[in-house]
Amino acid sequence: MNINALVRPNILKMKAYSSARDEFKGAASVFLDANENPYPNDGLNRYPDPLAMAVKREIAKIKGVDTENIFLGNGSDEVIDVLIRIFCEPRVDNIITLPPTYGMYQVSADTCDVAVKTVPLTVDFQPKVEEILREADEHSKILFICSPNNPTANNIEASRILNLLNAFKGIVVVDEAYIDFSTQQSCIEWISTFPNLVVMQTFSKAWGMAGIRLGMAFGSKEVIDLMNKVKPPYNVNELTQRAALDLLKNKAAKKDANVKEILAEREKMAAILRGYDFVEKVYPSDANFILVKIPRPNEMYQWLLTHGIVVRNRHTVTLCEGCLRITVGTPEENRELLRVMKESQFLIA
């Protein structure tokens, strides 16, 4: 597949911004090239590494890829935005999403004036492969697949992802924000086979660092180079790079322990919820949240709120009618949620 043929002509033609740190990468004792303030301020008076190479080297070790196959963004949200701006000509090209799914694909496309074609998932939340391929036209540049999917919590079957990768003529993005909670393998291993595959992951969920805003993308060198060309020069700030390095070097075991605890809690919660007679359905989860179907979701949502508990009401989302999306919290938080939900039974009768 010829990636360049998918790229907007202006992006192919443009020259990337060249910062002081891009133009001089060597060692020196006096740096007077970036108009920085010379007085130390905990090291923050200097611009950060534009490519965050130290962070990428640690990620490369963990993920088994080369640093040239990694892009880092100001959250996954920036990854989505950069991809749309590289490949989608406003008012000409389109993206395909598979609702119910993450809302940012649509929002990012809207801000770029790029059309969105939607092909809803089946009732058991799997992509309709044939229908997606029928819906795709020569302007369909990106297909977004979220696995495990938000808000439905399930894995997208690997065989369907593979079928789409083999047949779709544009970029296939697999958003793996919740992959660390899943029994399914990451698609990262396929990036060497499919130059049009981009796998997104994030520090916001399993790593417990939503506050530092750090998203990852894995893909062919061709696509990653384009992303680096288009991104703002210092999109991952120095504090974030430091926090990420500390995390990757010293706190991977803590992350694994957290994930294990969350998975155990998820199973416990799901079993208890299934036992409540007013609960119609607890959907299977491969993520750190549970989708629950109940007869009166709006009332339950309000009831929980009056008790200081906020969940996500997904009742108005197609295929999620009657559903609340509940994040797995600490054991104490989950106990409190289950207690308050149980007490609400009189509302449901």
The residue ranges that bind ligand PLP (CB under 6 A) are: 75-77, 102, 146, 150, 175, 177, 202, 204-205, 210, 215
Q: Which is nearer to ligand PLP, 323 or 341 (CB)?
A: 323
What residues are paired with 326 via a beta bridge? 290
Which residue's CB is nearer to ligand PLP, number 174 or number 337?
174
Nearer to ligand PLP, 102 or 181 (CB): 102
- Residue 176 beta carbon to ligand PLP: minimum distance, rounded to whole angstroms: 8
Compute the distance between CA of residue 181 and CA of residue 45 in angstroms, rounded to an integer. Answer: 38
User: Minimum CB separation from ligand PLP for residue 227, in Å?
Assistant: 15
In the complex, the smallest distance separating the C-beta of residue 150 from ligand PLP, rounded to whole angstroms, is 4
Q: How far is the CB of 140 from ligand PLP (least distance, A)?
A: 20
**Which residue, 21 or 205, is less far from ligand PLP as judged by CB?**
205
Contact 19, 50 (CB under 8 A): yes
**Measured between alpha carbons, how far is 165 from 157 in angstroms, rounded to an integer?**
13
Q: Smallest distance, Å, CB 247 to ligand PLP? A: 14
Between residues 146 and 243, which has the closer beta carbon with respect to ligand PLP? 146
Judged by beta carbon, residue 102 or residue 303, the one nearer ligand PLP is 102
| Residue placing its CB nearer to ligand PLP in the complex, 75 or 99 | 75
Q: How far is the CB of 74 from ligand PLP (least distance, A)?
A: 8
In the complex with ligand PLP, the residue whose CB is nearer, 50 or 215, is 215
Taking the CA of residue 102 as centre, how many other CA atoms within 13 Å lie in the half-sphere pointing to its CB?
24
Q: Which residue is nearest to ligand PLP (CB)?
A: 75
